[in-house]
Every structure is written in structure tokens, then in C-alpha cells.
Amino acid sequence: MDKINIQRVLIAPLDWGLGHATRCIPIIKAFQLLHYEVIIAADGPSAKLLTNEFPELRVVHLDGYHIQYASTAKGLPWKLFLQIPKILSSIKKEHQWLDTFIQKEKIDLIISDNRYGVCTNKVPCVFITHQLLIKTPYTFLEKFIQKINYHFINHFSACWVPDNAGEPNVAGVLSHPSALPKIPVHYLGILSRMQVHKIEAIQFDHCFLISGPEPQRTLLEKKIVEMLPLLAGKVVIVRGLPNAGNSIIVPSNTKVFDHLSTNELASVIYSSKLIICRSGYTTVMELIGMRKNALLIPTPMQTEQEYLATKLVSENRFQMVSQDELDATKVLAAYNYSEMTNLDIPIFNTNVLEVLLRAI
């Protein structure tokens, strides 16, 4: 392929949970297959995850937004509101860091996964998001927040949306709002780091994938640990802690991993009867690509996850339960439910990337 004057690519995922980093993995691999040089800019657990996944690549430090969730659902809107000055400060610092970095490192293309400040008019910049419409607990805020969202997005050269352009799709109105940004918008299909495995022998009855920002990640983990003595069969827990956390005490029928590589995680998921996890967008995309049944637990007051779970349950794709109502009875009931309607959406690959690069 003609490399269109692109040699070195900077990829920078947001640090809000691990989903932004994990969904960048297939994009990084596609650039590698097309023989582009990739540099990753990340912070904290996201940087650790991508360093483990790509030990051969250079991972540079770029301060994250370090968004904190409230421990109660009612407190979340205020907690996020009070962090707006910190977010705006982070965006400003991203701009300052980027101006110096791209000149020093001779960057030809920038891929930003939801980092508004990783943008410059000196080289082409792509913004990745599935939330062109950002759901809020209060609908009257959505149009106002969309204007702010588009204000930042329109500074980029193009917007790449991980979803199908038409029907069927994963994100519904989140990725298909009535009005689009002014810049070109391209749909990628499903972003999934998981390779399709041969059908593996079932090793686990229940697979808990714990993820998301704190303190809600830990609150969910505590709830899961409390119910473990009531769950028969083999259980596996993946804690979503690339930096390794404190150990947890579990029954003898339960296996615990702080973190797994992509191939190890795919093997665990394929060899589990039921997945119990957050309804984060990256997780949902990967499960759809793997055609695995799951019980979804939206992060309390994270309106996007609540919307996604409700939409997919209404389409008979998955099951869901609120974090407050999660218990062993709900898990066992989901375990006995196997019917799921497959969602056939193209999966992102190098051919898609080639087309997107020619469009920039």
C-alpha cells in the first residue's frame, strides 16, 4: 500500500477504565501489519496493559484525566461536575505536550481515543469515539453536552466510530445521532482484540470480568466475593488490575487472575459457560464478536452503560441486572438461560484501515 506520507503514528487512549486501551489493540495491530511505526501515549493501568501487550513498542507517558466515580449513584453527577476544571486542565496540558512531542518525534498521524487535547493542526488527527451522543441522567442536558462534544471533535481531521454504519448496530443512538460532527465520520465495524478460537472444552461455569473506574470496580468485586460461597461449579474471576492489586480470599472452587493477556483472556472467555461483566462498550463489542452469552451489570449512574445494556437486552442479545440487585440467585438464573440472538456486524481489519487512511 502507498503509505501516503505516513511513517510514524501516535496512538493515545483515554485512561477512563481500560476499555479505551483495549479497543486500541486491534488498531495498533492493523498498523503493524501495514508496516507503520507506532508509538503509544498512555498513563497508569492503560500504559501497563499496552506495554504488556506490545513489549516491542515504545510507550511514552502522557498524564491521564484520572476521573473518579462516586461510591453512590446519587453522588455521581456532582462528582463528575466538580471534576470539569480538572478535565479542561488535562486537555490544555495534552495540547502543550503534543506540540513539543510531534516536532521532536516527527509524528505523521495521530489517533486519539476520546482524548480531546491530543489534536493539532500540524498533522492529520483522528478522534475515536462511539459516543457522538453522550447520554446523561437528565435528557435536557444531552443537546448541550453534544454541542460541547462536537466543539472538541470538530478540531480533528476525521472521526472513527467503532460500530456498524447502519442496521444492525451495537450502540444505537449513541453512535447514530440525528446530527453528526462537521468533520468526516467513518464507521469501523466492531473493534475486538479477541481472535476467534476453536471451540474449547468448558472449564468454568461462571466467569466474572471486573472492570471500570474506581471506586465502583472495587464495590462490584466485594459484592461478587460475598456471593461466591453460594455458587456451585467452577468459577473464574479476572479483576482487571494490570498493576496487580491486593489479593482477595475466595473459595477453593474459584480461580483468580489480576489480569490476563489478550490470548489468555480469550481462552478463559471461550471456555466459560456464562460471562458476568460490566456493560462497557469495548466489553460488549468483544462478547458480540465472540458470540458469548453474558449477564451485564451497568456501572451505577453511568447512563451510557445503562442504555447499552437495556438496548441489547430488548434485542435479546444479553441479560442484565443492576449492581444493587446482583446476587447468586440472579447469576444462577442467567446461567440457565442460553438463548441469544447473534448480532452480525463486520469486524475491523487491515482492509478497513487502508480505506480509512486513504480517506484522510
Claim: this prediction has a pTM higher than 0.75: yes
DSSP summary character for residue 240: -
Given a contact cutoff of 8 angstroms between Cβ atoms, the answer to whether 184 and 358 are in contact is no
CA distance from start to end of the chain: 15
Residue 4's pLDDT is: 65
The pLDDT averaged over each successive group of 10 residues in the chain (360 residues) is 76 90 96 97 94 96 74 57 74 91 94 96 96 82 88 97 94 95 97 73 94 87 96 94 84 95 92 95 92 92 91 93 94 75 85 94
Residue 1's pLDDT is: 45
Residue 52's pLDDT is: 93
Domains of the chain, CATH where assigned:
8-190+346-359 (3.40.50.2000), 204-335 (3.40.50.2000)
The conformational region for residue 240 under phi > 0 = left, psi -120 to 50 = alpha, else beta, is: left
Given a contact cutoff of 8 angstroms between Cβ atoms, the answer to whether 315 and 156 are in contact is no
Residue 197's pLDDT is: 59
Best CA proximity match to 32, nearest among 350, 329, 356: 350
